[in-house]
Amino acid sequence: MVIQVQHLDLEEQEQLDKIKQFWERWGNIITGVLIVGLLGFAGWRGYDWYQSQQAGKASLLYDQVRLDAQSGDAVKLAESLKTMQEQYGSTTYAQQAGLLAASTFFQKGQVDQAKAALTEVIAEKADKGLQSMARLQLAQILTQQKQYDLALQQVSGSMDPAFEGLAADAQGDIHQLQGKTPEAIQDYTRAYKALEAGLPYRQMVALKLTALGVDIAPETAAASSAPEAAAASAAGPASSAASASSAAQAG
């Protein structure tokens, strides 16, 4: 067998020499960057897998907390909640478990345990909505205990936008109990503006404002007359004619 050796021409040899020089100078750096990149990608994939595994385990433990809450066994509930907080405290499952446990503890008259569970939910920031719910519930308990300043601290901090109206209403209730009517009016006004029109809760806030001498009757009347106008329109000409006939007879 004859091996043919092809000789490089001068231009090709110069290009090859440049490539060799470039690789001798930058090869280690390029290799290092590639390795770091590959390790980073592998680490990201590993972290994603780890998070998935953690979520699955946290879900199972949350089910145990839920079952203990349903059974009404406060001792078992405290144990399963503690395990959840220690192992998966940074997950939303832990926050949900804390809210559930707090409700059960409160119903059983174990107020201190309910407050402790809510405090743990507030300490974790996995879900700001759940954190805000815990703040509102803890504020309600503190208000019942007449710890008004502590209750205000809970609902005066940063809240999820969806709960700002409820937080303002809670502030109004606390200020009202403290005899601070001007502050209560400001709080209720903020709550009324933040809550969506048509919500029964918003009308309750309107009643609080009316009781404090704030006249919001025109806006309330307009809101309440809108469904009536829609119903009359849907009834059609027959309804309008009947109304006109009734009016004529009354006259």
pLDDT at 240: 39
pLDDT at site 125: 80
DSSP assignments along 204-251, one per residue:
HHHHHHHHTT---HHHHHHHHHHHHHHHHHHH-HHHHHHHHHHHHHH-
Residue 165's pLDDT is what?
Answer: 94
Q: Tell me the CA end-to-end span of the chain in Å, nearest whole number.
A: 125
Distance CA 208, CA 211 (A): 5
In order of 37, 50, 81, 122, 142, the CA distances from 97 in angstroms are 39, 21, 7, 12, 21
Instruction: Check residue 210 and give its pLDDT.
Output: 92
pTM: 0.65
Which residue positions in the chain have pLDDT lower than 70?
A: 1-55, 217-251
Distance in angstroms (rounded) separating the CA atoms of residues 236 and 181: 47
Distance CA 60, CA 55 (A): 9
Q: Does 135-215 carry CATH code 3.40.50.450?
A: no
Q: How many CB atoms lie within 10 A of CB 206?
A: 20
What's the pLDDT at 238?
A: 35
- Listing DSSP states for 159-186 in one string gives --GGGHHHHHHHHHHHHHHTT-HHHHHH
Specify the domain boundaries for CATH 1.25.40.10 within the chain.
135-215
pLDDT given for residue 25 in this prediction: 63
